Amino acid sequence: MSMNHHTTEAHDPHSPPHTRRSSTKKALLLAAVPLLAMPLMSAAENVVDEERTQYHHIRIVEVVDGLRHPWAVAFLPDGRMLITEREGRLQLLENGELTRVSGLPNDIQATGQGGLMDILLHHDYPNQDWIYLTYSRRASGGTATTLVRGRLDGESLVDVEQIFTQDRGSGPGRHYGSRLAWTNDGHLLMSIGDRGAQPPRAQDLGDHAGTLLRLNEDGSPAAGNPFEDDEDAHDEIYSYGHRNIQGLIVNPENGEIWSTEHGPRGGDELNFHQAGENYGWPVVTLGLDYGSQQEIREAQARTMEGMVDPVYELLPTHAPSGLALVTADRFPRWQGDLLAGGLRSERIRRLVIRDYEVIHDEEILLGTVGRIRDVREGPDGYIYVLNDHGSSSLFRIEPVD
């Protein structure tokens, strides 16, 4: 199967499939925008910028500062937020104040790109009050991407249990992947990068490196995974041939799985995931080696029969991290679009998709907040953004028009 569409149009017809509303409903939504209440800003919040995008005039509000290399944010039902910091801290945000949560695993290894990474509430929270966290754990041979879950009790994480760890620890401290998302049928997706030193591991179904996993809520392999009957493959694997997935969403309307993935120089990707497919890395890649700017040693082609091409190549280098799907009514003209955060590019890419092809690509927040680590749609319909610096902040994107 091949999905190799890399065109971007200057004109945005803005009618991608699946989540796009009818023109009548869209008109009603547009008419309702002025009636939407803006959030009440706390004393700690301040407007850092305003920007006119193609469809929405937006303001960027700093919700809280004082974070150190934050990685992900999760929203509790009572309005509080949990924010992971890569160096191994979990912060609870309430009324503009940060409180450090105790009870995290004591084997978090903040090495290179690793440390405490993604966070996700159980899909039936608070009826099932598990909170899931990924981190890099000290392991034989280096570090291993690991999944734990626990419960929030006041300002502590309790009942913490390790429910999955990749099968092989390794160096050199990069390409952990580590994004989480729930499928519509209640299974947990988890990405693991190729770990950097040995890219061919992503082609080995007996190795968790370079894969997207599909798990039960207790970390065990989900029934019906594509390789469960293959004695030489790990039962958890859903798709493979990935370099380093760091943006991951599931469309709540149709269950489609989309990701953004770090490529080598010039090879960052947007992918649509299907069970059992091989996404090619490192045998197939659109990018070049970072150091030499020559072709990847293991690469045989830019496309190959039996390997899935990316839906879109994010050029110039984007360094993707954090991916959101706009579903709420706050931004009616963005509904159904993907918002792909970028680290090195210091921007968000608004991607309009029709028939599994990106037909429009708009850059927003270019250089406004620096390196973008996470992008999430909050339960209030606003877009939340974490930047990645030693002194970082959580920001909220609001429509002005």
* Nearby residues of 47 by Cβ (< 8 Å), 6 or more positions away: 59, 60, 61, 62
Burial class (CB in 10 A: 0-12, 13-18, 19+), 136: buried
Q: Is 175 a catalytic residue?
A: yes
Query: Taking residues 111-140, what's their average pLDDT?
Result: 97
Assign 47 a pLDDT band (cuts: 50, 70, 90). Answer: very high
Assign 39 a pLDDT band (cuts: 50, 70, 90). Answer: low
Query: Taking residues 99-104, what's their average pLDDT?
Result: 98
Supply 112's token pair: 């290179």
Average pLDDT over the chain, rounded to an integer? 89
Q: Is the pLDDT of residue 27 over 60?
A: no
Residues 49, 62: Cα–Cα separation, whole Å? 9
Q: Are 210 and 243 in contact (CB under 8 A)?
A: yes
Q: In the block, which residue shows the tokens 């790109």?
A: 113
Paired residues of 62 in beta bridges? 46, 395
Query: Taking residues 11-24, what's their average pLDDT?
Result: 36
pLDDT at 288: 62
Task: Report helix, strand or coil for 71.
Answer: strand
pLDDT at 298: 73
Kind of pairing between the strands at 81-85 and 97-101:
unpaired
Residues 168, 207: Cα–Cα separation, whole Å? 8
Q: Is the pLDDT of residue 28 over 50?
A: no
Assign 30 a pLDDT band (cuts: 50, 70, 90). Answer: very low
For residue range 207-234, list pLDDT tens digits in order. 999 999 999 999 999 999 999 999 999 9
Domains and CATH numbers, the chain: 23-399 (2.120.10.30)
Q: Is the pLDDT of residue 287 over 90?
A: no
Q: Is the pLDDT of residue 9 over 90?
A: no
Assign 294 a pLDDT band (cuts: 50, 70, 90). Answer: low
Query: Taking residues 63-84, what's their average pLDDT?
Result: 98
Name the more confident of 30 and 209.
Answer: 209
Task: Report helix, strand or coil for 135.
Answer: strand
What is the pTM (predicted TM-score) of this model? 0.89
Supply 243's token pair: 């370099």
Q: Is the pLDDT of residue 38 over 60?
A: no
Assign 6 a pLDDT band (cuts: 50, 70, 90). Answer: very low
Q: Is the pLDDT of residue 40 over 60?
A: no
Least-confidence region, from 8-22, 193-207, 318-332, 380-394 = 8-22
User: In what helix (H) or strand (E) does residue 107 lie, and over which residues does it extend?
Assistant: none
In this structure, how many other beta carbons lie within 10 angstroms of the beta carbon of residue 367?
9
Catalytic residue among 5, 175, 208, 242: 175
pLDDT at 290: 62
**How distant is the alpha carbon of residue 15 from its chain centre?**
24
- Phi and psi angles of residue 7, each rounded to the nearest 5 degrees, phi first: -95, 145
For residue range 177-213, list pLDDT tens digits in order. 999 999 999 999 999 999 999 999 999 999 999 999 9
